[in-house]
Amino acid sequence: MVENHHNFAWKEMHDGKEVIVHRKGATPADKNVLGIIPGSMTAPGFIVKGLGEEASVNSASHGAGRKMSRTSAIKSITHSQLNEVLVKYGVKLLGGGLDEAPFAYKDIHEVMKAQKHLVETVGLFYPKIVKMDGAQPKQWKKKKTDEIVGE
């Protein structure tokens, strides 16, 4: 069994001290620890075994990583483009929006090449059914507020 949390903190020993390691955008890759590094809705995911690289705090990426912000993806990718690529790769989408479209992510093969000193690939899997949040992304821009006129 392989379990891979997205945004958690662990108590670990580093340099002889107990520390809390918060991995945001990273997955544990301690020596011989199994993990999952997914691509996108259409790209393969990798089953990996950690190599225990202390310089990376025994961590590796937890996925392909974005090449487009959510806002950029929503503005530049159409539903038609998303549907076309899903059909091409034979993927059924149960939930997910344009902000999670495959075009918004880096090439997982390049990401994996860049971290070959952190993990060893032991298997691949290809998505066929994808379930993501599907809710409208939150708008992070500040809303204008009424200014208070001086006293």
Distance CA 7, CA 87 (A): 31
Maximum CA pair distance of the chain? 68
Distance CA 50, CA 17 (A): 21
The whole-number pLDDT of residue 61 equals 94
5 classed as catalytic: no
Stronger pLDDT, 7 or 151, i.e. the higher one: 7
Mean pLDDT in residue range 43-54? 96
The whole-number pLDDT of residue 117 equals 98
Contact 19, 4 (CB under 8 A): no
The whole-number pLDDT of residue 134 equals 63
16: phi then psi, degrees, rounded to nearest 5 = 75, 5
* Residue 31 token pair: 């020596």
Among 26-35, 78-87, 130-139, which is the least confidently predicted range?
130-139
The whole-number pLDDT of residue 66 equals 94
Query: Which burial class, exposed, middle or buried, applies to 137 when counting CB atoms under 10 A from its CB (0-12, 13-18, 19+)?
Result: middle
Q: Is the pLDDT of residue 41 over 50?
A: yes
Catalytic residue among 5, 62, 79, 109: 62
Query: Rg of the chain's alpha carbons, rounded to an integer?
Result: 19
**pLDDT for 61-107, tens place per residue?**
999 999 999 999 999 999 999 999 999 999 999 988 899 999 999 99
Which residues, other chains included, contact 121 with Cβ-Cβ below 8 Å and sequence gap of 6+?
46, 47, 48, 112
Task: Using DSSP bridges, classify how beta strands 45-50 and 119-125 pair: parallel, antiparallel or unpaired.
Answer: antiparallel
Mean pLDDT, all residues of the chain: 88
